[in-house]
Amino acid sequence: MELLFLGTGAADWSPKHKGGSLYRRLSSALVGDDLLIDPGPCIYDFAEDYGKPDLYKNVKNVILTHSHSDHFNAQTLIRLTKESSFELHFWAQPAAYEKLKAAASDSDVLPVFHPLTPMAGVIIGDYEVLPCYANHGDLPAGEIPLNFIVKQGDRSFFYGSDSGWLMYETYKKIKKAKPNAMIFECTTGYAPGDERVFGHTNIAMIGIMMESIVAQKATADDCKYYATHMARTLHTTHEDTAARLAPFGVTPAYDGLKIQV
Protein backbone atom coordinates (compact mmCIF):
# COMPACT_ATOMS: atom_id res chain seq x y z
CA MET A 1 0.00 0.00 0.00
CA GLU A 2 1.31 3.40 -0.99
CA LEU A 3 0.61 6.79 0.60
CA LEU A 4 1.50 10.12 -1.02
CA PHE A 5 1.54 13.30 1.07
CA LEU A 6 -0.16 16.00 -1.01
CA GLY A 7 0.21 18.59 1.73
CA THR A 8 1.86 18.60 5.15
CA GLY A 9 1.04 22.05 6.48
CA ALA A 10 -1.39 23.39 9.07
CA ALA A 11 -3.89 26.18 8.41
CA ASP A 12 -1.40 29.07 8.55
CA TRP A 13 0.23 28.17 5.22
CA SER A 14 -0.94 29.91 2.06
CA PRO A 15 0.27 30.24 -1.57
CA LYS A 16 1.98 33.53 -0.69
CA HIS A 17 4.53 31.49 1.27
CA LYS A 18 5.73 29.58 -1.78
CA GLY A 19 9.42 29.73 -2.44
CA GLY A 20 12.47 29.27 -0.27
CA SER A 21 13.72 25.90 0.91
CA LEU A 22 10.33 24.45 1.82
CA TYR A 23 6.66 25.14 1.17
CA ARG A 24 3.86 23.16 2.75
CA ARG A 25 0.38 22.94 1.28
CA LEU A 26 -2.62 22.28 3.50
CA SER A 27 -2.75 18.68 4.63
CA SER A 28 -4.15 15.97 2.36
CA ALA A 29 -2.98 12.50 1.33
CA LEU A 30 -3.59 10.03 -1.48
CA VAL A 31 -3.72 6.30 -0.78
CA GLY A 32 -2.79 4.26 -3.84
CA ASP A 33 -4.34 6.17 -6.70
CA ASP A 34 -7.97 5.77 -5.67
CA LEU A 35 -8.55 6.91 -2.07
CA LEU A 36 -8.19 10.57 -1.05
CA ILE A 37 -7.92 11.67 2.57
CA ASP A 38 -9.26 15.23 2.98
CA PRO A 39 -10.34 17.13 -0.17
CA GLY A 40 -8.60 20.34 0.83
CA PRO A 41 -8.05 23.48 -1.24
CA CYS A 42 -4.47 22.64 -2.29
CA ILE A 43 -4.65 19.24 -3.98
CA TYR A 44 -4.86 20.62 -7.53
CA ASP A 45 -2.03 23.04 -6.79
CA PHE A 46 0.05 19.99 -5.84
CA ALA A 47 -0.86 18.16 -9.06
CA GLU A 48 0.03 21.21 -11.16
CA ASP A 49 3.33 21.95 -9.42
CA TYR A 50 4.44 18.31 -9.58
CA GLY A 51 3.45 17.91 -13.24
CA LYS A 52 0.76 15.30 -12.54
CA PRO A 53 -2.45 16.63 -14.12
CA ASP A 54 -4.09 13.19 -14.08
CA LEU A 55 -3.19 12.39 -10.49
CA TYR A 56 -6.81 12.06 -9.36
CA LYS A 57 -8.33 10.40 -12.40
CA ASN A 58 -8.70 7.07 -10.56
CA VAL A 59 -10.00 8.46 -7.28
CA LYS A 60 -13.23 6.67 -6.41
CA ASN A 61 -13.56 7.48 -2.72
CA VAL A 62 -12.87 10.49 -0.50
CA ILE A 63 -12.74 10.27 3.30
CA LEU A 64 -12.80 13.32 5.56
CA THR A 65 -11.25 13.84 8.98
CA HIS A 66 -13.31 16.99 9.68
CA SER A 67 -14.80 19.99 7.93
CA HIS A 68 -12.37 22.78 8.84
CA SER A 69 -11.55 24.75 5.69
CA ASP A 70 -7.93 23.60 5.48
CA HIS A 71 -9.13 19.99 5.17
CA PHE A 72 -12.46 20.36 3.40
CA ASN A 73 -13.08 22.51 0.34
CA ALA A 74 -16.45 22.18 -1.38
CA GLN A 75 -15.17 23.32 -4.78
CA THR A 76 -12.37 20.74 -4.65
CA LEU A 77 -14.89 17.99 -4.01
CA ILE A 78 -17.25 19.25 -6.74
CA ARG A 79 -14.37 19.36 -9.24
CA LEU A 80 -13.28 15.83 -8.27
CA THR A 81 -16.85 14.65 -8.83
CA LYS A 82 -17.08 16.29 -12.25
CA GLU A 83 -13.70 15.08 -13.46
CA SER A 84 -13.73 11.57 -11.99
CA SER A 85 -13.76 8.62 -14.37
CA PHE A 86 -15.96 6.88 -11.82
CA GLU A 87 -18.94 7.61 -9.60
CA LEU A 88 -17.30 9.45 -6.71
CA HIS A 89 -18.19 8.50 -3.13
CA PHE A 90 -17.76 10.86 -0.17
CA TRP A 91 -17.43 9.41 3.33
CA ALA A 92 -17.77 11.94 6.14
CA GLN A 93 -19.81 13.30 9.00
CA PRO A 94 -23.28 14.55 7.91
CA ALA A 95 -22.40 18.14 8.90
CA ALA A 96 -19.73 18.18 6.19
CA TYR A 97 -22.19 17.03 3.56
CA GLU A 98 -24.53 19.83 4.59
CA LYS A 99 -21.66 22.27 4.03
CA LEU A 100 -21.09 20.77 0.60
CA LYS A 101 -24.74 21.11 -0.38
CA ALA A 102 -24.85 24.71 0.88
CA ALA A 103 -21.83 25.65 -1.24
CA ALA A 104 -23.03 23.92 -4.43
CA SER A 105 -24.99 25.53 -7.23
CA ASP A 106 -28.03 23.93 -8.85
CA SER A 107 -25.89 22.74 -11.76
CA ASP A 108 -23.15 21.15 -9.66
CA VAL A 109 -22.82 17.38 -9.56
CA LEU A 110 -22.31 16.06 -6.04
CA PRO A 111 -20.67 12.81 -4.93
CA VAL A 112 -22.58 9.91 -3.43
CA PHE A 113 -22.60 10.52 0.32
CA HIS A 114 -21.95 7.92 3.04
CA PRO A 115 -22.08 8.96 6.73
CA LEU A 116 -19.25 7.78 8.94
CA THR A 117 -19.81 6.64 12.51
CA PRO A 118 -16.85 6.80 14.90
CA MET A 119 -15.47 3.38 15.78
CA ALA A 120 -17.60 1.65 13.13
CA GLY A 121 -15.43 0.16 10.38
CA VAL A 122 -16.46 0.31 6.74
CA ILE A 123 -15.28 -1.28 3.51
CA ILE A 124 -14.31 1.41 1.02
CA GLY A 125 -13.16 -0.03 -2.28
CA ASP A 126 -10.17 -2.24 -1.57
CA TYR A 127 -9.65 -0.79 1.90
CA GLU A 128 -10.95 -1.42 5.38
CA VAL A 129 -11.34 1.98 7.04
CA LEU A 130 -11.91 2.52 10.74
CA PRO A 131 -12.89 6.08 11.73
CA CYS A 132 -11.49 6.76 15.21
CA TYR A 133 -12.10 9.55 17.69
CA ALA A 134 -9.80 12.55 17.35
CA ASN A 135 -9.04 15.17 20.00
CA HIS A 136 -10.00 18.37 18.17
CA GLY A 137 -12.64 21.07 18.52
CA ASP A 138 -14.54 24.10 17.21
CA LEU A 139 -16.59 22.06 14.76
CA PRO A 140 -20.22 22.41 13.64
CA ALA A 141 -22.83 21.04 16.02
CA GLY A 142 -23.02 17.28 15.75
CA GLU A 143 -19.70 16.81 13.95
CA ILE A 144 -17.14 14.53 15.56
CA PRO A 145 -13.51 14.87 14.41
CA LEU A 146 -11.98 11.69 13.09
CA ASN A 147 -8.66 9.95 12.66
CA PHE A 148 -8.40 6.87 10.46
CA ILE A 149 -6.92 3.40 10.50
CA VAL A 150 -6.71 2.27 6.86
CA LYS A 151 -6.02 -1.37 6.03
CA GLN A 152 -5.41 -3.14 2.74
CA GLY A 153 -4.65 -6.85 2.90
CA ASP A 154 -2.35 -7.40 5.86
CA ARG A 155 -0.91 -3.85 5.89
CA SER A 156 -2.35 -0.82 7.65
CA PHE A 157 -1.56 2.72 8.75
CA PHE A 158 -2.92 5.25 11.23
CA TYR A 159 -3.58 8.79 9.99
CA GLY A 160 -3.91 11.23 12.89
CA SER A 161 -4.70 14.74 11.67
CA ASP A 162 -5.98 16.95 13.41
CA SER A 163 -5.72 15.76 17.00
CA GLY A 164 -4.06 16.39 20.31
CA TRP A 165 -3.36 13.44 22.60
CA LEU A 166 -4.54 10.13 21.21
CA MET A 167 -7.94 9.33 22.70
CA TYR A 168 -7.82 6.14 24.80
CA GLU A 169 -10.48 4.44 22.66
CA THR A 170 -8.42 5.26 19.58
CA TYR A 171 -5.22 3.95 21.17
CA LYS A 172 -6.95 0.63 21.87
CA LYS A 173 -7.95 0.34 18.21
CA ILE A 174 -4.37 1.14 17.16
CA LYS A 175 -3.00 -1.54 19.48
CA LYS A 176 -5.45 -4.07 18.06
CA ALA A 177 -4.62 -3.15 14.45
CA LYS A 178 -0.84 -2.99 14.98
CA PRO A 179 -0.31 -0.63 12.03
CA ASN A 180 2.77 -0.66 9.83
CA ALA A 181 2.90 3.15 9.74
CA MET A 182 1.79 5.87 12.15
CA ILE A 183 1.19 9.42 10.95
CA PHE A 184 0.99 11.91 13.80
CA GLU A 185 0.05 15.52 13.39
CA CYS A 186 2.63 17.99 14.70
CA THR A 187 0.93 21.36 14.40
CA THR A 188 2.45 23.07 17.39
CA GLY A 189 6.03 21.91 16.92
CA TYR A 190 8.24 23.39 19.61
CA ALA A 191 6.16 26.22 21.07
CA PRO A 192 5.97 25.94 24.87
CA GLY A 193 2.84 27.45 26.36
CA ASP A 194 0.81 27.51 23.16
CA GLU A 195 -2.86 26.81 23.95
CA ARG A 196 -3.36 24.89 20.72
CA VAL A 197 -1.91 21.80 22.41
CA PHE A 198 -5.44 21.19 23.71
CA GLY A 199 -6.54 20.27 20.19
CA HIS A 200 -3.24 19.65 18.44
CA THR A 201 0.09 17.94 19.09
CA ASN A 202 3.62 19.21 19.69
CA ILE A 203 6.95 17.42 19.49
CA ALA A 204 7.14 16.72 23.23
CA MET A 205 3.67 15.14 23.17
CA ILE A 206 4.69 12.90 20.28
CA GLY A 207 7.70 11.81 22.30
CA ILE A 208 5.52 10.86 25.29
CA MET A 209 3.03 8.96 23.11
CA MET A 210 5.85 7.18 21.28
CA GLU A 211 7.33 6.04 24.59
CA SER A 212 4.10 4.25 25.48
CA ILE A 213 3.39 2.99 21.95
CA VAL A 214 6.80 1.31 21.80
CA ALA A 215 6.69 0.01 25.39
CA GLN A 216 3.22 -1.47 24.87
CA LYS A 217 4.14 -2.97 21.46
CA ALA A 218 1.09 -1.24 20.01
CA THR A 219 2.38 -1.25 16.42
CA ALA A 220 3.90 -3.75 14.01
CA ASP A 221 7.57 -4.62 14.39
CA ASP A 222 8.32 -2.88 11.09
CA CYS A 223 6.23 0.23 11.83
CA LYS A 224 7.57 3.55 10.64
CA TYR A 225 6.52 6.86 12.16
CA TYR A 226 5.87 10.21 10.47
CA ALA A 227 4.63 13.67 11.36
CA THR A 228 2.47 15.97 9.23
CA HIS A 229 0.24 19.08 9.58
CA MET A 230 3.05 21.39 10.72
CA ALA A 231 2.28 25.04 11.36
CA ARG A 232 4.41 27.59 9.53
CA THR A 233 4.61 29.86 12.60
CA LEU A 234 5.28 27.14 15.17
CA HIS A 235 8.21 25.40 13.46
CA THR A 236 11.51 26.78 12.22
CA THR A 237 13.16 24.77 9.45
CA HIS A 238 12.36 21.26 8.23
CA GLU A 239 15.86 20.24 9.31
CA ASP A 240 15.29 21.55 12.84
CA THR A 241 11.96 19.70 13.10
CA ALA A 242 13.67 16.53 11.83
CA ALA A 243 16.42 16.86 14.45
CA ARG A 244 13.89 17.37 17.26
CA LEU A 245 11.78 14.37 16.17
CA ALA A 246 14.74 12.06 15.48
CA PRO A 247 15.23 10.91 19.10
CA PHE A 248 11.69 9.49 19.02
CA GLY A 249 12.16 7.70 15.71
CA VAL A 250 9.73 10.01 13.90
CA THR A 251 10.32 11.53 10.45
CA PRO A 252 8.65 14.80 9.42
CA ALA A 253 6.86 14.37 6.11
CA TYR A 254 7.01 16.90 3.28
CA ASP A 255 4.83 17.57 0.27
CA GLY A 256 5.48 14.90 -2.33
CA LEU A 257 6.84 12.30 0.10
CA LYS A 258 5.65 8.84 -0.98
CA ILE A 259 5.84 5.98 1.51
CA GLN A 260 5.26 2.26 1.18
CA VAL A 261 3.21 0.97 4.10
pLDDT score, position 21: 78
Tell me the pLDDT tens digit for each residue of 157-167. Answer: 999 989 999 99
C-alpha torsion angle, residues 216, 219, 221, 223 (rounded to 10): -140
User: Using one digit for the tens of pLDDT, what is the confidence trace for 25-47?
Assistant: 999 999 999 999 999 999 999 99
Mean per-residue pLDDT, 236-252: 97
Average pLDDT over residues 225-246: 96
**Residue 131 confidence class, pLDDT cut points 50, 70, 90:** very high
- The answer, yes or no, to whether residue 20 has pLDDT greater than 80, is no
Segment 165-181, tens digit of pLDDT? 999 999 999 999 999 99
* Structural domain for 171, as ranges: 2-260
pLDDT at 216: 97
Q: What is the mean pLDDT of the chain?
A: 96
| Mean pLDDT of all residues in 204-218 | 97
In the chain, pLDDT over 70 holds for what percent of residues? 100
**What would the mean pLDDT of 108-119 be, rounded to a whole number?**
96
**Residue 183 maps to which CATH number?**
3.60.15.10
- CA 67, 159, 162, 33 torsion-angle sign: negative
How far apart CA 241 and CA 191 sit, in angstroms, is 12
pTM: 0.97
- Is residue 139 very low, low, confident or very high in pLDDT (cuts 50, 70, 90)? confident
Domain count, the chain: 1
**pLDDT higher than threshold 90 for residue 189:** yes
